[in-house]
Structures are given as structure tokens and as C-alpha cells.
């Protein structure tokens, strides 16, 4: 028996897969459900005198009646999926097996609303109706639940276990949305944009790792509302006044008071909900992790966020004191995460390292969410080196200093859904290099509107950055370097603005002392170019690398009003510069260049007189530029 189990486990073979797909579109209580199986699947493993087989007997299942039903109706449904588990062994042995359901990450319907009912093929009940969300996790396959466990024995002839699976939507499920009608080929639906739940049925002989025993219920104070429990206090911390044991490795129960635990209440920075905890395991029922609920604890190692969590609130795992506290090393978001919000300072000043992958459904990353506090203020030191956004990201906002002072390197790809990158989101704010992003890519079809002040300040950007057409504002020092410093880390060589650009503002020192070469074309939509926006360094300062723009073009129909002081100072702009007609302000020394006679002509279409000596001459009275201004040849005198 032991020898057989070892051989089989070493194979680590998952027995067969079937796919069930539910597409629900709601109007009132009616719905459309579809599940398809392609082909007759039969998967076997044969070795050492035995054969274990998983076979799908039903090739399709289709439910067109109302599937938002009570359990009595669901159990009697005429639509179901049949499958067999077969075993034959000449040595009269037994095999334990686990039937599991693997949820697909495309699913948008919460599994607590999907009910399953397992019988044999004579409709004798094997498993009472349950929500998939209430099933135990199956540790051997990601995103999976154990539907049923059984043992099968052969006495030399084939033994067959036959099963029948029914699926329906809980009678209490409501869509809460305005209905609409859609027809797509042979599929018709009435209701909201279809809500999807998709999963695979599999059979495995590999035993799951037992779930850890939950911490005793008496350690928790909780309240119940709407059939859900909210934890309001953890009492089993060191030095507690409740005469409770000290438990620092916490496993939060799935249920308290007979109801699913879904929320950790809000605490404060000085009085968190949990205290002096070194590790925490959340149940898969968890939806909300409250403000400062685990702040200033002693968490270390890997923190796993269950896939059903929707919100991690402000300061949930923060360090906000000078005392030794949270040092979380890595955050793992479960596959299929439904997380939408990561609050301000949620993980500030921990010890995060390596790669962080932001789940696709996250819409908001709050201010300083993964950042670090003022240097020396707290003990934490996040040093994330790679940031990945899952495919089909729905991210809208990256908050102020969200990833500042980490150790990001290489290429950063910004999701097309993103609208706002706030101030200092990826900045370095100290003289010690931390973030060193070398390449920046905005996904095709980017909807980005704002690149905030200092967003990529003092990184290590090189090559070309292409600014999406949707961007309206590039903030102060967004891609800039430190003022009057000998260390210029950002070294972009080219800036390209996409066609049909909506850009209005290029901020103060936005591209200060990079290494921009060749032609820069300012979009026609730009109204303001801030002070020192494209300023370079002087050769006399001993710098050999800096902005060296050689040709400056303003787009046809330019709406430009203001060119700030030193805007193009110490570049190498040559030939003709044509000032657009709408310009009312040209700042001091905005066109002073490194070399004499490189700008040969200034064409002024504004009809205004400017103090050209202050604008284009290094020293008033030094005649190295001859220009045409207001149709009059002007020579320095």
C-alpha cells in the first residue's frame, strides 16, 4: 500500500479536466446559463498493475431556464454534468482521490453565489448543496476548492464511481443594475453586461496540505451584521489585560458566531486591531482589511492576500513609529484576486523585496502605498526591484510617492487604463540612488492624462520616452534631475509626443538636464512650457552629457502662450526658431545656447516686441546672434 502511494504521488498527475462556463445576464430573476464540454475526455494513468481513469460522460450541459433558484429547485434540475472515476488493480489495493473545482481568473461572479450539488448518477445525494466559496481550498492546484473526497478499491476487476454535478446561482443573488438586451450569433442574453463564472472539474490522487488550525475564537472580539462577522479586536497579544494566552502567529477563523468573517475593522495608528502579531493567515472569506488594522505589529516574511479581498485600507500594514515593527518581505496576491483598492500607506516602510505583481482588478494605489517614509524617521525600508501590472489591468490612479525610494530597475510598463500618475510616484528624493528605472513604456491606447510633479524624478531613464496623446499635463521635474547637481541620473536621449497630442502643460524642469538630442517637436496643443523645462548644462561647467536639442519645432497651429525662463537654455539649437503667434511671454535666457551663431534666425509671429538681448544673448551686447524680429533685422549692439 505504501509503495503504491509513493509511486503514484511522485507522478503528480492531475486526472483530466472539464470546463464549466456560466454566463449570467440578469433582468429581474431571469438568467442565461451556458456550459460546454468539447469532445469525450478520458484520461488514465496505468503503471505497476493498476489503471486509474477519469472520464467525462456528458459532452455538454445547457441550462436555459431560470437558474437563480432555491436549493430544492436546483437539486431537481434536468441539466447536469456526468463523469466517472474508474480503478482496476490486480493487487487488490485502494486509492484515495479528491474531486476539485478550479476557478478561472476571468470569473467576475463571486463564488459565494454559485452553488453546487453532487450526486451519483441515480441522483442519490453525495454532497449537500453548498456555495463554492464555502468549500475547503485544494492546496495542490492554484485557485481550487475540494468538492468531494473518496476512496476507491479494486479486487482485480474494474470499480466505477459515477457522479452527477448540478450548478445554479443562489436565490439571494441580485444584479442591481439596469438591464439591456444583446444578441451575439446563437447566444442571446437579457440583462447587465454578462457576469461570468468559469471553473474546471478535476480529479487528483495528491492529498491537499491540511489548512492550519484557526486561532481559538475567544481571542477575537467581533460583531455580526447582515450575516457577516467583523473582527473589532484581537485579545491574545503579549501583555494583554484579558488573562488570555499569547498567540503571535494568527490564523483568522473562517467563521465567528456561525457567520463568515469578512471584515477587519478600522483601527488607528496608535491602537491597531491586532497587536504584536508576527504572522497572519486570512480566511478566503475576507473582503476588507481595515485602516491601521495591523500597523506597527511585528509581521515578517510572506504575506498572502486572499483573492476575495476587495479593499486594503489606509495604513493596514504600515509602520508609523520609530520602534521595531512590521518587516513584511513579500506580498503575494492570490491568483484571480478581486482586489480593487490599496489604500494610502498600506505597506509603507516595510522590508519588501523582489517583485510585486499588482492584480488586474486594482483601480487605485494610494499615496505612499508601497513607499518609504522620511529617511531615518521609521525603521522600514521597502526595496521592491520589479513592478508588474497583470494583463488587462484596470488601474486608474497611482498615488503620491506610491513607489518612491524603492529599488526599481529595468523597464516599467504603464497600463493603458491608467489616468493619473501622481506626484513623486516613482521618484528618488534623496542623494542616494534608489529607484533606477531605465526604460518607460506606456501601453498602446494609453488613456493617461496626468504625469505628476517629480513622477520619475532622478531615476536612470535612457533612450526614448513616448508621451501618449491623451496626456494633458507633464508636471514639474517629472523626468528631471537634481538642480545644479553634478549627478544627472535621468538621461533620456529623445522625447516623442504621439500624434494628436492633447498636451497643454510642460512643467518646470520637466526634462531638466537629460541628454535629449536632435529634433524636439512641441505639440500644437501646448500652452505653457515651464521654466528650465528642457534646460541643459554649460560646457564650462565641465559636463559632457546634457540636453543638446539641435532643432526646435512648434506644431502647426500652435496654441503656445508662455515660454518660461531658461526653457531651452544651454542646448545646441541651430538654424531658425519660429515663435508662434499666440506667445505673450518669453522668459529670460530661454534661448541662450552653448555655442555662438547656432540660432541664425528668430522669426517672431506674435507682432510683439520682446527684450531679445535678455532672451537669446548670453551677455547683452555680445553680438553672436543675428535675428529677424518683427520683420526687422536685429543685431546685438
| Residue 529 β-bridge partners | 506, 563
Place of cell 479536466: 17
pLDDT > 60? residue 423: yes
Span of 22-31, 54-63, 189-198, 585-594 with lowest mean pLDDT: 22-31
Lowest mean pLDDT among 276-290, 320-334, 496-510: 320-334
Averaged pLDDT, 116-124: 92
pLDDT over 80 (residue 433): no
- Max mean pLDDT range (72-81, 152-161, 250-259, 482-491): 250-259
Boundaries of every domain in the chain: 2-204, 218-335+345-364+372-386
pLDDT tens digits, 11-33? 222 333 344 444 333 332 222 23
Q: Predicted confidence band at 382 (pLDDT cuts at 50, 70, 90)?
A: very high
pLDDT value, residue 57: 61
pLDDT at 539: 55
More confident residue, 10 or 244: 244
Query: What's the average model confidence in pLDDT over 489-516?
Result: 96
Residue 238 confidence (pLDDT) above 70: yes
Give the per-residue pLDDT at 412: 98
pTM above 0.75, yes or no: yes
Above pLDDT 70, what percent of the chain? 78
Residue 58, judged by CB atoms within 10 A of its CB (0-12, 13-18, 19+), counts as middle
Query: What backbone phi and psi angles, to 5 degrees, belong to 473?
Result: -135, 130
Residue 125 is predicted with a pLDDT of 94
Q: By mean pLDDT, which of 49-63, 99-113, 329-343, 447-461 is the weakest?
A: 49-63
Q: Which residue has the higher pLDDT, 21 or 427?
A: 427
User: Among 21-30, 188-197, 386-395, which is the least confidently predicted range?
Assistant: 21-30
Q: How far is CA 493 from the centre of its chain?
A: 30
Residue-level pLDDT at 69: 85
Quote the pLDDT of residue 381. 85
What confidence score (pLDDT) does residue 538 get? 65
Average pLDDT, whole number, for the chain? Answer: 82
pLDDT of residue 55: 64
Residue linked to cell 481571542? 219
pLDDT at site 279: 97
Give pLDDT tens digits for 56-79: 665 444 333 347 889 999 999 887
Q: Are 549 and 575 in contact (CB under 8 A)?
A: no
Query: Of 57-61, 82-86, 91-95, 170-174, which range is least confident?
Result: 57-61
Do residues 215 and 253 lie in contact, with contact meaning Cβ atoms separated by under 8 Å? Answer: yes
Residues 6+ apart with CB under 8 A from 146: 98, 99, 100, 135, 136, 137, 138, 208
Residues 535, 568: contact at Cβ < 8 Å? yes
**Helix (H), strand (E) at residue 522:** strand 517-522
The b/e string for 453-485 (b: 16+ C-beta within 10 A; e otherwise) is: bbbbbbbbbbeebebbbbbebbbbbbbbbbeee
Lowest mean pLDDT among 513-517, 557-561, 617-621: 617-621
Instruction: Of 463, 461, 413, give the one whose Cα is nearest residue 437.
Output: 461
Q: How far apart are CA 441 and CA 467, in angstroms?
A: 9
Tell me the pLDDT tens digit for each residue of 623-633: 444 555 544 44
Grade residue 545 by pLDDT with cuts at 50, 70 and 90: low
Q: What's the whole-number mean pLDDT along residues 306-312?
A: 95
Query: Per-residue confidence at 493, pLDDT binned at 50, 70, 90?
Result: very high
397 pLDDT band, cuts 50/70/90, is very high
Res 114: pLDDT: 87
How high is the pLDDT of residue 584? 96
pLDDT of residue 477: 97
- 169 pLDDT band, cuts 50/70/90, is confident
pLDDT band at 635 (very low <50, low <70, confident <90, very high): very low
Confidence class for position 585, pLDDT limits 50, 70, 90: very high
Which residues are CB-contacts of 354 (< 8 A; sequence separation ≥ 6)? 330, 384, 385, 386
For residue 290, the model assigns a pLDDT of 98
The grid coordinates of residue 44 equal 488514465
- The answer, yes or no, to whether residue 515 has pLDDT greater than 60, is yes
365 pLDDT more than 90: yes
pLDDT at 9: 29
**pLDDT at site 11:** 28
Amino acid at each position: 500500500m505504501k509503495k503504491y502511494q509513493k509511486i503514484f504521488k511522485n507522478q503528480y498527475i492531475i486526472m483530466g479536466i472539464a470546463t464549466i462556463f456560466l454566463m449570467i445576464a440578469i433582468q429581474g430573476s431571469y438568467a442565461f446559463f451556458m456550459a460546454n464540454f468539447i469532445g469525450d475526455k478520458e484520461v488514465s494513468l496505468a503503471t505497476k498493475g493498476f489503471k486509474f481513469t477519469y472520464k467525462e460522460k456528458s459532452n455538454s450541459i445547457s441550462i436555459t431556464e431560470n437558474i437563480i433558484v432555491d436549493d430544492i429547485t436546483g437539486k431537481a434540475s434536468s441539466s447536469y454534468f456526468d463523469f466517472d472515476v474508474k480503478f482496476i488493480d490486480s493487487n487488490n489495493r485502494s486509492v484515495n482521490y479528491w474531486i476539485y473545482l478550479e476557478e478561472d481568473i476571468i470569473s467576475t461572479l463571486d463564488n459565494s453565489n454559485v452553488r453546487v450539488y453532487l450526486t451519483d448518477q441515480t441522483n442519490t445525494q453525495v454532497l449537500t448543496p453548498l456555495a463554492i466559496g464555502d468549500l475547503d481550498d485544494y492546496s495542490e492546484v492554484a485557485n481550487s476548492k475540494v468538492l468531494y473526497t473518496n476512496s476507491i478499491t479494486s479486487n482485480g476487476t474494474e470499480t466505477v464511481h459515477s457522479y452527477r454535478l448540478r450548478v445554479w446561482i443562489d436565490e439571494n443573488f441580485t444584479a442591481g443594475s439596469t438591464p439591456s438586451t444583446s444578441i451575439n450569433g446563437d447566444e442571446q442574453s437579457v440583462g447587465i453586461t454578462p457576469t461570468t463564472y468559469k471553473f474546471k472539474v478535476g480529479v487528483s490522487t495528491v492529498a491537499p496540505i491540511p489548512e492550519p488550525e484557526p486561532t481559538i475564537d475567544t481571542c477575537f472580539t467581533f460583531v455580526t451584521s447582515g450575516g457577516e462577522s467583523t473582527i473589532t479586536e484581537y485579545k491574545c497579544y503579549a501583555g494583554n489585560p484579558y488573562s488570555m494566552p499569547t498567540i503571535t502567529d494568527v490564523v483568522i477563523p473562517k467563521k465567528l458566531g456561525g457567520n463568515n468573517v469578512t471584515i477587519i475593522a478600522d483601527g488607528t495608528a496608535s491602537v491597531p486591531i491586532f497587536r504584536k502579531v508576527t504572522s497572519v493567515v486570512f480566511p478566503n472569506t475576507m473582503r476588507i482589511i481595515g485602516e491601521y488594522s495591523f500597523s506597527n505589529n511585528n509581521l515578517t516574511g510572506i504575506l498572502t492576500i486572499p483573492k476575495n479581498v476587495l479593499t486594503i485600507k489606509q495604513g493596514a500594514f504600515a509602520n508609523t513609529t520609530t520602534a521595531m515593527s512590521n518587516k513584511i518581505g513579500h506580498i503575494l496576491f492570490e491568483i484571480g484576486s478581486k482586489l480593487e483598492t490599496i489604500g494610502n500607506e498600506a505597506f509603507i516602510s516595510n522590508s519588501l523585496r523582489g517583485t510585486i505583481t499588482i492584480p488586474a482588478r486594482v483601480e487605485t494605489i494610494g499615496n505612499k502605498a508601497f513607499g518609504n517614509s522620511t529617511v531615518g524617521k521609521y525603521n522600514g525600508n521597502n526595496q521592491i526591484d520589479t513592478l508588474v501590472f497583470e494583463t488587462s489591468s484596470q488601474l486608474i490612479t497611482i498615488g503620491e510617492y506610491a513607489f518612491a525610494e524603492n529599488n526599481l530597475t529595468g523597464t516599467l510598463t504603464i497600463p493603458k487604463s491608467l489616468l493619473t500618475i501622481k506626484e513623486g510616484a516613482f521618484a528618488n528624493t534623496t542623494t542616494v540612488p534608489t529607484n533606477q528605472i531605465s526604460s518607460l513604456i506606456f501601453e498602446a491606447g494609453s488613456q493617461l492624462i496626468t504625469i505628476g510633479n517629480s513622477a520619475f524624478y532622478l531615476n536612470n531613464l535612457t533612450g526614448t520616452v513616448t508621451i501618449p496623446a491623451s496626456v494633458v499635463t507633464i508636471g514639474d521635474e517629472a523626468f528631471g534631475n537634481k538642480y545644479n547637481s553634478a549627478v544627472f541620473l535621468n538621461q533620456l536621449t529623445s522625447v516623442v509626443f504621439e500624434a494628436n497630442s492633447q498636451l497643454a502643460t510642460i512643467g518646470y524642469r520637466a526634462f531638466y538636464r537629460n541628454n535629449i538630442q536632435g529634433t524636439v517637436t512641441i505639440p500644437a496643443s501646448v500652452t505653457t512650457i515651464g521654466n528650465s523645462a528642457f534646460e541643459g548644462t554649460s560646457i564650462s561647467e565641465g559636463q559632457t552629457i546634457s540636453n543638446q536639442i539641435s532643432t526646435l519645432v512648434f506644431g502647426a497651429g500652435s496654441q503656445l502662450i508662455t515660454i518660461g525662463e531658461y526653457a531651452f537654455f544651454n542646448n545646441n539649437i541651430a538654424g531658425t526658431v519660429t515663435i508662434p503667434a499666440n506667445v505673450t511671454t518669453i522668459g529670460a535666457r530661454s534661448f541662450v545656447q552653448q555655442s555662438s551663431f547656432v540660432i541664425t534666425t528668430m522669426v517672431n509671429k506674435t507682432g510683439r516686441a520682446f527684450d531679445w538681448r535678455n532672451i537669446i544673448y548670453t551677455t547683452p551686447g555680445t553680438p553672436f546672434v543675428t535675428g529677424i524680429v518683427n520683420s526687422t533685422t536685429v543685431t546685438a549692439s
